[in-house]
Structure 1
Amino acid sequence: MHPTYADVKAAADRIAGLIRPIVLAPMDPAAIPAADGGTCEVWLALEHLQHSGSFKARGAANFLLAHREQGGLPTAGVTIASGGNAGVACAWSARLADTAATVFLPTTAPPMKVALLQSLGAQVLTPGPSYAEAAAGCERYATASGALRSHAYDDPYISAGAGTLLEEILTQLPTLDTVIVAVGGGGLFTGVATAAAHHGIRVVAVEPENCRAFNAALQAGHPVDVPTDSVAADSLGAPRTSTMALAAAAAADTHSILVPDTAIIAARQALWDDRRLAVEHAAATALAALTSGAYTPRPGERIAVVICGANTNPSDLIST
């Protein structure tokens, strides 16, 4: 089921006061040239400052609190399969809902995300090297234990919670024209595009060239499996997007952009060099659409770029 704008508004009410309000930071007007020699306004939406280190805290909180309202939280708690960030958000949100979290990760998940999960009190299980193996383990556990099965991105509560991000941006930038988001499985995109369609805002969906589940689905007209091979694959490496994301794309003014890993790495480094922001490659993917020239703004275009997560090891960032 595709979330509606009413679902996004309900999520905003549900998680109000529990989520950190988004912080916006303007970029130098000269940093991103517009078409025909013009200028544009670009704002960085610093959602990496969110609880649990990523935007996923919004959806996870909305999911668990909605189920608690409905009396749907079992004694076994909640379980999720994740590449890392969704699991961290689930564990953080489980504390809000006073329940337990069991998180299934691939063995390839970044060690710092495993450590963060453990610090939040989650039970962490790693049944194999792939996300598919983590998902299968999660499914078996949910069946055997009765735990509530959450999803990293393919759930209307998760996506509606993510969409609250755009509502907050608009309170600060009511004349916004365009929002740029990185896309993995499509949870953030679905929520943001649902809100954007209501407000008449363009959505630019950005993926690594070799992690393009959403772009491939748009071309095929339905979700398809794709290989995942990118520096941003730990967050954006979903092998298949959701049908919700396709429905949201059809309803909104959507533009799908692909960027190479070299552009992602350069954008991440620039965020550190220019602003001392240590973020994930996934967060830099959205900005790479602009810095690489893959998306050229119109003169006067007002743009918000969602910097979506910071659960990263910053040791490879070199100061200049």
Structure 2
Amino acid sequence: MITRTDVEAARERIAGRVRRTPLLAIDDGYGGAGSFKLEYLQHTGTFKARGAFNRILSAAEDGSLDPAVGVVVASGGNAGLANAFAAAALGVPATVFVPENAPTVKVEKLRAYGAQVVLRGTEYAMAYEAAVEHAQTTGAVYCHAYDQPAIVAGAGTLGLEILEDLPAGVDTIVVAVGGGGLMAGVAAAVEGHAKVVGVEPQTIPTLNTALAEGRPTDVEVSGIAVDSLGARRIGDIAFEVATRTGVQPVLVGDDDIVHARRILWDRYRIVVEHGAAAAFAALTSGAYVPAGDERFVVVLCGANTDPATL
């Protein structure tokens, strides 16, 4: 179970390692009084740097990290980049397993951070199995993309920043959901202070399915945001936090996501990946309508995208 206490401990642990990202007022008429949390300005362009630092530093504190062996992660995307960056900053080696068909540009980014990249299999599941085996045989610390306590607590630190930067209060925080690590961390951080709306694509309804069936359940994954929100099931930690805190699930379509991403560029000159735009799509599509006096924040969680696709 992850609580606000865990998130507060994570904030102390990663202080000075991550950026405190700013808020920007939303000046369009979506009801209430809104702001964007500009988390795409974080190191490596994604919120995942917070959890990566917390996971590695926690392992160093409890003695499970062998500095000579380092960490291992399965991800050619944001989690891989974040953990490779954090490991390099902390002076420990990182091994990243990715599918053989991973985009060359992502592999080169990982190597630029000093990670050892291992190509394995044609699907993420194969890379994941290889990474787990590597951790078991070498003693490397395994860094999960979203379903580990330290990863979730680290992600939640941006929720504490929101509360502090809006001293008059916030009613609602809107976040995108893939595996649910960000949603769970934020919900734990603001429990008792604000509600969380979890937004996911209609084509990847991990949270909606889990809440409907009473347990995390595999779903088919597809759609425009699959590269960053493509987890096949919600994490166990995320499911526990969502049910405990009453996270409100919302679904948006691919066309809604594309439209929201375009609005962010046209009106704010903000470039984010489709997964991050999903959160804003809840407002632009009308899937979530704030009350007239509602104070809300939309988290823009990642910017690892090709601007040419705007």
Shift of 1:134: 1.3
Residue aligning to 1:151 = 144
Q: Which segments of 5 or more consecutive residues in structure 2 lack a partner in the other structure?
A: none
Residue aligning to 1:296 = 289
Q: Which segments of 5 or more consecutive residues in structure 1 lack a partner in the other structure?
A: 35-39
Residue aligning to 1:49 = 41
Aligned equivalents of 1:23, 1:57: Cα separation in 2: 16
Aligned equivalents of 2:133, 2:110: Cα separation in 1: 21
- Asked if 1:271 is matched to 2:270, the reply is no
Structure 2 counterparts to residues 82-231 of structure 1, below 5 A: 82-174=75-167, 175-199=169-193, 201-231=194-224
Aligned equivalents of 2:174, 2:104: Cα separation in 1: 29
Aligned equivalents of 1:21, 1:108: Cα separation in 2: 35
Aligned equivalents of 1:223, 1:83: Cα separation in 2: 24
Identity of aligned residues (%): 49
- The one-letter code of the counterpart of 1:291 is T
Aligned equivalents of 2:103, 2:226: Cα separation in 1: 11
SS at match of 2:263: helix
Conservation of the 8 A alpha-carbon contact between 1:83 and 1:235 = no
Residue aligning to 1:6 = 5
Conservation of the 8 A alpha-carbon contact between 2:13 and 2:54 = yes
- The one-letter code of the counterpart of 1:153 is Y
> C-alpha deviations, 1:121-175, integer Å up to 9, x for none?
1112221232211111111222222211110001000000011001001111131
Shift of 1:83: 4.6
- The one-letter code of the counterpart of 2:184 is T
RMSD: 1.3
Aligned equivalents of 2:309, 2:228: Cα separation in 1: 17
> C-alpha deviations, 1:267-296, integer Å up to 9, x for none?
111111112211110110000000010001
Conservation of the 8 A alpha-carbon contact between 2:211 and 2:243 = no
- Cα 1:236–1:156 change in 2 (3 A) is same
Aligned equivalents of 1:68, 1:279: Cα separation in 2: 33
Aligned equivalents of 2:255, 2:100: Cα separation in 1: 26
Shift of 1:87: 0.6
- The one-letter code of the counterpart of 2:226 is A
Structure 2 counterparts to residues 273-288 of structure 1, below 5 A: 273-288=266-281
Moved >4 Å (runs of 4+): none
> C-alpha deviations, 1:22-67, integer Å up to 9, x for none?
211111142x1x3xxxxx1110100000011100000000010111
- The one-letter code of the counterpart of 1:316 is T
SS at match of 2:199: strand
Further displaced range: 238-247 or 125-134:
125-134
Conservation of the 8 A alpha-carbon contact between 2:256 and 2:281 = yes
- Cα 1:198–1:129 change in 2 (3 A) is farther
Conservation of the 8 A alpha-carbon contact between 1:105 and 1:124 = yes
Residue aligning to 1:22 = 21
Q: Give me the TM-score of the superposition, normalised by structure 2.
A: 0.96
Further displaced range: 271-280 or 224-233:
271-280
- The one-letter code of the counterpart of 2:172 is T
> C-alpha deviations, 1:218-267, integer Å up to 9, x for none?
11100111111011111100001112111111221311001000011111
Conservation of the 8 A alpha-carbon contact between 2:4 and 2:190 = no
Residue aligning to 2:62 = 70
Conservation of the 8 A alpha-carbon contact between 1:84 and 1:110 = no
Q: Give me the TM-score of the superposition, normalised by structure 1.
A: 0.93
